[in-house]
Structure 1
Amino acid sequence: MKVVLISAFAGFGFGLSLIVAIGAQNAFVLRQGLVRAHVPHTVVVCALSDVVLIAAGVAGVGTLLHHAPAMMVAIRWAGFAFLAGYALLAARRALRPTALVDAAESTVRSAGAVIATCLALTWLNPHVYLDTVVLLGSVATAQGAGRWWFGVGAMLASLSWFAALGFGARYLRPLFASPRAWQVLDAAIAVVMGVLAVRLVMG
């Protein structure tokens, strides 16, 4: 039992260290949480995607990625196109600052569109594969018999983070009552998405 707990806590801490960073996924979850638009869908899709990727990493799928460079190149360019487009949309919103109600109206409305965006932000980002499937998978392998408990800990970290970010964003709503605050947020999102898109192209 002690080994199980140690592995699970190690996985939880390592998982948080990978996911708690400014990125495309987190920026989208934060914005959806602020406008309270399909937050459960956003949290569940992002968390489940991570669960699948982490499980693949623990199972040793990471070694297969080294033998499929063409697939990673295709994912890289698809991710660039998506992130660049999202950056332009965020920049456009930043140039036209709106109040909280207007921001809610301008966000993605349908659940299907939200789910599709979450899937694209996750699965079209090669860095996600490197972080979860390759890096986390390698660290999990070093845990020996406790590698799956390490993976479970990392999965719980992902679920906890996305739930806290998505559902906890409502407490930041008073800060975004003014159009200026939304302008700053969307400008930051545009920069993050743009930088990530460029980094994908540069490898």
Structure 2
Amino acid sequence: MYTLRFPRALLREVAEPSEVATIGEAPTTRLGDWYVAPLAAAGRELLLCTSDRSLLSVVLPAEDLEDLPERLAVAVVGVLHRLDVPRPAVAREIDAMTSGEVGPARDRAVMAAMRALARRTRAWLEAEDGPVDVAELYTHLGEYRPRGRDVASAASTAVALLTARPAARARGTATAPKAGATSPRTAKSARKKR
């Protein structure tokens, strides 16, 4: 279970107001919710899709929005395999992505990171002469680190989240930080739960 989060203008194109999750359930995916924003680059209409917990990103054609969840899952599988994430971890993540909601974008830090990722994508696509090597683009996006912060790359954060031991997650200990952010759970609240 996860939520596809869109900027308001795109959200109106994707769903009726009655279909939009206003609060949304906590995601069961390790990579969290996925934010989706339009991206015009090199004469193409695209969608930049970014995990809110890791900032791992994929770029998809901006067509057939009703098929977006399936296309996103396929792209995520490809990226995770290229990152050498173990197959059982990939399968767990994709299984958790089989159901979801649609909701508004709400994390300004993720949206700011997406603006930087969009600039990075545009520059990379405009520098390409021939056919686009999607694997190379995703590797380039996976190297992203939020400016001014000493954090792991988006790809490293995603791998850490996906390969963290489930027992550690069940005890409430942090397994991997959200890219560019601190955990909302304090040590004091973690001790209370024990």
TM-score, scaled to structure 1:
0.29
Q: Going by fraction, where is helix more abundant, 1 or 2? A: 1
Q: Going by fraction, where is strand more abundant, 1 or 2? A: 2
TM-score, scaled to structure 2:
0.30
